[in-house]
């Protein structure tokens, strides 16, 4: 081998194996080079990140204290009450005092307080709760001042490897800043909300960080920290944040005075493409969202979407699975249309889906108060809006349980939110007034037919 060439190869080899830090070592040429820091970003962001304290009154359930004879004999007045408290974080998103946090931080709360970075505390009212995204919007009470806020970033601009900072109140120790990178995007298998399309980061996120800010190096909000993957309860470098583009939709609904988030309605049920289905369709790999059913009269039907169509993109964004489609569709602005590309019998077809909300007339929601297995349950007729919101099959006839207190009779006998009551004691239940009437009757046995998770279940309960 030519000795000069050998030396050149050796130099390249040494350069590749020498640590970069060793190659770049030098004396700083100015004081500014000693001050490289995230401090300017933190100083801008910190005033807009708050602590959220929620409290609710619960009763200590003791079987002996539920017995009136026991209470009378021992002179016990009743079930003692206990205050349950939860701690989280939040982000000021409007100067009037609008705060976004996680729904699970304030769920069931009787009282909510917000503490600012300057240690001042304010009572807060819950403006909007959205369990589907695990987001909630609060408003500070009795104040007219203007508060510092964070601007939303376009979370679609994020790339894996981008530097991010997480700010919140982990373990209640006080406002804390951690930093890391975007570890992954579009995580759809986390299983904690309806809209699974999370930003994954290795910035340390711990209990108490929920609802706090994930910001980029320009100080803009890219996400709301929501969950961690942990075997110990502490950070293990896998945290998840709701993308800012979804947060923006929820905040916009709150600003418009809505009590619920307004989203586009597709009117079609989608399913994931398994390797077996991909092989049947002649795909090189599993991907896209397969249309399993289309609701009559829905935007999907009117646009020409058909059974077995494979949705591969929406407005230019590739669709890997139904979760990705749900997120992309839910973050489209109402009005106008979304452009879908579908594969139909091996050919590409383009469709225009109108972006409109689901009809919600005829809900007729009510609470069953009569003594029966249904006592305490809130029920509603299955409108297209409720079917979309609760992921129900709109073709099933019956009434759906939309809510029930933990201490209600209905909850104690085993009913769950989302159960569809189809028949009671051989009487078909077509609307809420049917169930209210049947529940008011006296019966020794209650034979109930319901649908839960798409499965029909027969239940017999004693009167």
Binding residues for substrate: 104, 134, 208-210
Question: Which of 89, 130, 134, 320 is labelled catalytic?
Answer: 134
What single string gives the DSSP state of each residue in 365-408? -EE--SSSTTTT-EEEE--HHHHHHTT--TTS-SEEEEE--TTS
Considering the candidates 210, 298, 372, 408, report the single residue annotated as catalytic. 210
Nearest-10 crossing angle of helices 244-255, 322-330: 40
Binding residue ranges: 104, 134, 208-210
Positive or negative CA dihedral for 386, 392, 398, 400?
negative
For residues 238 and 236, what is the distance between their CA atoms, to the nearest angstrom?
Answer: 6
142 in catalytic set: no
List of residues 6+ apart from 8 with CB closer than 8 A: none
- Is 104 annotated in the active site? yes
- Any catalytic annotation for residue 194? no
Going 205 to 211 to 215 to 219, the CA torsion angle's sign is negative
Under a CB-based contact definition with an 8 Å cutoff, are residues 300 and 294 in contact? yes
Backbone dihedral angles phi then psi of residue 202, each to the nearest 5 degrees = -100, 5
Q: Say which of 104, 155, 183, 388 is annotated catalytic.
A: 104
Supply φ then ψ for residue 270, to 5 degrees.
Answer: -115, 155
- Whose CA is closest to 126, among 249, 23, 250, 4? 250
Contact between 440 and 370 (Cβ < 8 Å) = yes
Active site residues: 104, 134, 210
């Amino acid at each position: 081998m030519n000795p000069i060439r050998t030396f050149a190869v050796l130099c390249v080899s040494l350069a590749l194996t020498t640590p970069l830090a060793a190659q770049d070592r030098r004396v700083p040429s100015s004081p500014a080079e000693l001050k490289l820091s995230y401090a300017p970003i933190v100083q801008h962001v910190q005033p807009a990140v708050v602590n959220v304290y929620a409290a609710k009154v619960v009763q200590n359930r003791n079987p002996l204290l539920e017995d009136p004879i026991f209470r009378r004999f021992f002179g016990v007045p009743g079930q003692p009450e206990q205050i349950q408290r939860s701690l989280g974080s939040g982000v000021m998103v409007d100067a009037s005092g609008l705060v976004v946090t996680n729904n699970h931080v304030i769920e069931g709360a009787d009282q909510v307080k917000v503490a600012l970075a300057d240690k001042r505390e304010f009572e807060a009212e819950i403006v909007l709760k959205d369990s589907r995204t695990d987001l909630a919007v609060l408003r500070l009470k009795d104040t007219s001042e203007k508060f510092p806020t964070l601007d939303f970033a376009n979370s679609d601009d994020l790339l894996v490897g981008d530097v991010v900072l997480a700010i919140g109140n982990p373990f209640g120790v006080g406002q804390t800043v951690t930093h890391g990178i975007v570890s992954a995007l579009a995580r759809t298998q986390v299983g904690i909300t309806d809209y699974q399309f999370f930003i994954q980061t290795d910035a340390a996120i711990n209990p108490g960080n929920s609802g706090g800010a994930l910001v980029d190096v320009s100080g803009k909000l890219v996400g709301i920290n929501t969950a961690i993957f942990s075997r110990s309860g502490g950070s293990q470098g896998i945290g998840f944040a709701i993308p800012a583009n979804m947060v923006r939709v929820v905040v916009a609904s709150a600003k418009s005075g809505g009590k619920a988030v307004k989203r586009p309605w597709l009117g079609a049920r989608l399913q994931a493409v398994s390797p077996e289905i991909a092989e049947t369709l002649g795909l090189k790999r599993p991907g896209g969202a397969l249309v399993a059913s289309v609701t009559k009269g829905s935007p999907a039907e009117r646009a020409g979407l058909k059974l077995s169509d494979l949705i591969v993109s929406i407005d230019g964004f590739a669709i890997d699975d139904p979760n990705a489609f749900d997120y992309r569709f839910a973050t489209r602005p109402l009005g106008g249309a979304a452009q879908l590309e579908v594969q139909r019998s091996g050919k590409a077809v383009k469709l225009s889906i109108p972006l409109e909300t689901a009809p919600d007339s005829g809900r007729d929601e009510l609470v069953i108060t009569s003594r029966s297995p249904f006592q305490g349950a809130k029920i509603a007729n299955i409108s297209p809006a409720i079917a979309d919101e609760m992921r129900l099959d709109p073709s099933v006839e019956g009434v759906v349980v939309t809510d029930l207190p933990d201490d209600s009779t209905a909850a104690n006998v085993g009913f769950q939110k989302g159960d569809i009551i189809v028949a009671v004691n051989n009487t078909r239940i077509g609307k809420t007034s049917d169930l209210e009437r049947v529940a008011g009757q006296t019966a020794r046995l209650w034979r109930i037919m319901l649908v839960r998770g798409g499965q029909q279940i027969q239940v017999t309960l004693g009167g």
